[in-house]
Structure 1
């Protein structure tokens, strides 16, 4: 039996386009004489459809596209599509052959943790499904079903010799190895080979890395698809097992995150129809990394960088920015903000009379820059990509309606430590970020002689604290007991995390790469007296 595995990049809600892509790939599979075609979870609708699933018309239109696939003969197809019957909605996988639906499998285990909210939308399935192709009995499950022992065991009990798994499993650091381990458990428990087909692409906060694979009945990976790219691949099931095919190595940590960020940015821009991106270039490492990723993703002709120096901007910041844009050949503009800043200060002079200069004036500079970038965005149809990182989002070291203003926060789930790691890694692939940007002390440059560490712990300590607070959900007492940070720093970061929730609620959407990002898997109340 020959299996066509389609690692698909769908667009949520673009039902006709998604179905067109499926039909095109199915026809290619037929040309290659494949017997079975399998695509990712909810391939027709795209995943996750979220509250589109609360609209009855959404199901009707999905089923209309499913009917187009029913017109295809000559191959057995496994197509994911939401299905409504009576008062129940299902996350379903349809098995289709020669104009007939020969089976429908409804996802049994509905994830309701982290970024997942499927219990809001679906009723769980209760029955296994095994169908036969070329005298091979195939069982099917959907994504979360693999993470429990029961669904695959039930398929095996019903005669399955092979399990085909349709998935929409999002990327996060270390997730691919976890998938492989869980799959190995299922294979060893049941002595049954499996094919795991994953979605690929960016969808708002989520990155789907693809990296589809197959395991033989000994639990060995015999096929591994390229990560972060769409592809149609072919596998052979002969003499009761999956035969060896191409094995593409999953990228190492920095390469995986960098490629994931590229995919997230590119899909957000292209799927939403933006002409390109514009960002504020400061001469600092965050904006430099953002610019490098933007150019690597979209090309220099779709990226604009704007330097907006003030009286506090160091000359080397301007010099380093000019060097980088010269390397990358992007459109570059410089707009001095001191005249605008002076105008604001003059307008507020009477109201602020007798009051000392403080962060108010610092935030004014950031908000002037935000306004300029938004004006450029409106005029040219370029999305503003913000440059703040997770360390800043944790501590509130960012200005609401200033440097937080924009449509996509590329580094939102990237700590400052990771920013340095990714920047150094990018330069090993080709020098684009001037070395001085990487080595100089970070500064917001909103007042004389300002340095980030004037008001924050050293980033290597800060980032360890935030990982334990945000991702590991440890208390301050538990973190202090680990003894890598002093008590004052731990309490300070915890306090800043708590009081800046209102900022994060208003931040631009940004891609998730960690176990817990400031997105769907972070839902803390603004009004909250609990102390971490």
Structure 2
């Protein structure tokens, strides 16, 4: 049996557009001789559709699309498609639907509904009541959906759920496990996922085919990286990361080894030009036995570039605006935006005040030249002076925090003015370290439509900068070596208010991502009073983060939908 593994980038709610992509893939792989096409979890709606699932008109449109657009496509190869389906009592199920000959022949609902981190599936879906393989050709397919394969007690040394769908399906005769997934990316996730899938394949002596969604949907970024693994645990194929891909596989039964999977090649067809009668197959990514490419900071770079590109495209924007301070955060943000959108669609705006150093002004302009983006300089001194005179009633400036922050707020207003008049989306530049402890200004540097670095620590920002400069100097060297500073008062540097970022980031990771207590963090060798002070800052800054722009998620615990903390609370 030939199987096409279709890793697509859906737009949430764009049912017609999503099924249109499926149609292009089916037409191409049919000419390549595919017997079955596998699409990701909730491919019809995109993942996560959230409260769109509560709208009756939306669910009716899904039902119509399945009946009128998806089912007829199965008159060629069979289709395995993820979609929300209403069952008995109008309960909603996250389903894998198998279509053959123009009609639905089998449905397997998702059994394990995650309700942690960024997931909230029990809000919308009921779990499957039963699990059983389905016969297609010479094979018994065990259909699973995303979380269904993340509960192996031998791999995790525990179980989050009472049942293991893979275990049950194998016991009932499944000889090929297929998983439809929408698994969001975070740094290190790809290696973990592949290792787990290989472990499951070896444990049950069954091949496992994994089809993952790709693309950015709001805060979440999906890496794709779909794959097929043989019973030995050998990776038969690995689809591209962070881009659409279609891989053609051949599944065969052998006397000695059981069911085996072999990669035949890739098709460049999901959203591209129409293919001819005999579409060309391109080589798959090479994966040596027992070894996968190592995940490095380049993966975070690609994730952020994809997240920016898809956020603008799917919200209807074409160009982005970045306030350039001459510092590391705005430099990295601008470089990511230029890579995502093309330099011609990015504008950098420098807004110097009396405290901006000549070096920072030069670095902002030099960065824009290196990137090839448009550049403007809008000095804020006259506006700042007017504020000082008005708010101090003609007296001398106080030099307090309010006067420092008004500079950031003037800059935020300038950026939003340009955004309103010229149609740019403003990208905010604050990083996770600053957002964590509240070292940012509401309605100032937090103003904008997308927070690109909101889940990137300061240490990781420097890693990204070095990666961006890996082939030539794009971010000026002086930006990488000068002490970070908001430049809101004379001689100011970040370390006046914060511990060294290497120390701060280690404490923040332990508290936010690992959820360790103050005592547990201090036991790692950190000053106990410093740990308590950092934690106090994190807790007190929740009200700021609640008002921040959506931030792209690249770690295992990001601010926003994956970390839902109250604003008005007190440790007792």
2:128 pairs with 1:128? no
Partner of 1:511: 552
Is the contact made by 2:99 and 2:105 (CA closer than 8 Å) also made in structure 1?
yes
Q: After superposition, where does 1:132-281 map in structure 2 within 5 Å?
A: 132-149=135-152, 150-239=164-253, 240-244=259-263, 246-248=284-286, 250=293, 252-281=295-324
Q: Which residue matches 2:385?
A: 342
Other-structure match for 1:425? 467
Q: Is the 8 A contact 2:430 2:446 kept in 1?
A: yes
Residues 109-166 of structure 1: per-residue CA shift (max 9 Å, x gap): 0011100000000000022242233312222100000112421122222222111110
Alignment partner of 1:523 is 2:564:
yes
Deviates more, 1:154-163 or 1:262-271: 154-163
Residue 362 of structure 2 corresponds to residue 325 of structure 1: no
Q: Secondary structure at the match of 1:71?
A: helix
1:355 CA drift (Å) = 8.1
**1:45-124 mapped onto 2 (5 Å cutoff):** 45-67=45-67, 68-72=69-73, 73-85=75-87, 86-124=89-127
1:315 equivalent to 2:315? Answer no
**Aligned residues of 1:409 and 1:509 also touching (Cα < 8 A):** yes
Matches within 5 A, 1:432-471: 432-471=474-513
CA distance in 1, matches of 2:558, 2:437: 14
Farther-moved stretch of structure 1 (63-72 vs 38-47): 63-72
Report the alpha carbon displacement of residue 495 of structure 1 after superposing the two structures with TM. Answer: 1.1
Q: Is the 1:12–1:46 Cα contact (8 Å) retained in structure 2?
A: yes
CA shift in 2, pair 1:46/1:386, >3 Å = same
SS of 2:516's equivalent?
Answer: coil
* Whole-angstrom distance in 1 between the partners of 2:27 and 2:63: 20
Where structure 2 has 5 or more consecutive residues not aligned to the other structure, the ranges are 153-163, 254-258, 265-283, 287-291
1:487 aligns with 2:528: yes
1:364 aligned onto 2:367: no
What is the deviation of 1:250?
4.6
How far residue 275 of structure 1 moved from its aligned partner, in angstroms, is: 2.3
Q: How far apart, CA to CA, are the structure 1 residues paired with 2:396 and 2:329?
A: 36
Q: Residue 282 in 1 paired to residue 282 in 2?
A: no
What SS is found at the alignment partner of 2:469?
helix
Determine the C-alpha separation between the residues in 1 that align with 2:133 and 2:532.
55
CA distance in 1, matches of 2:216, 2:137: 36
Contact persistence 2:388–2:397 (CA under 8 A): no
Unaligned runs of 5+ in 1: none
Instruction: Give the 3-state SS of the residue equivalent to 1:343 in structure 2.
Output: helix
CA positional deviation for 1:396: 0.5
Answer whether contact 1:7 1:200 (CA < 8 A) is retained. yes
Separation in 2, partners of 1:430, 1:88 = 56
CA distance in 2, matches of 1:219, 1:424: 35
Asked whether the 8 Å contact 2:318–2:341 carries over to 1, the reply is no
Let me know the Cα RMSD of the aligned residues.
1.4
Aligned residues: 529
Aligned partner (choices 423, 433, 446) of residue 404 of structure 1:
446
Give the superposition deviation at 1:54: 1.1
Segment of structure 1 superposing worse, 235-244 or 464-473: 235-244
Tell which deviates more after alignment, 284-293 or 491-500: 491-500
Aligned equivalents of 1:12, 1:250: Cα separation in 2: 31
Query: What is the TM-score with the length of structure 2 in the denominator?
Result: 0.91
Contact kept, 8 Å, 2:118 with 2:562, in 1: the verdict is yes
3-state SS of the aligned residue for 1:69?
helix
Q: Does the residue aligned with 1:243 lie in a helix, a strand or coil? A: strand
1:21 aligns to 2:21 (yes or no): yes
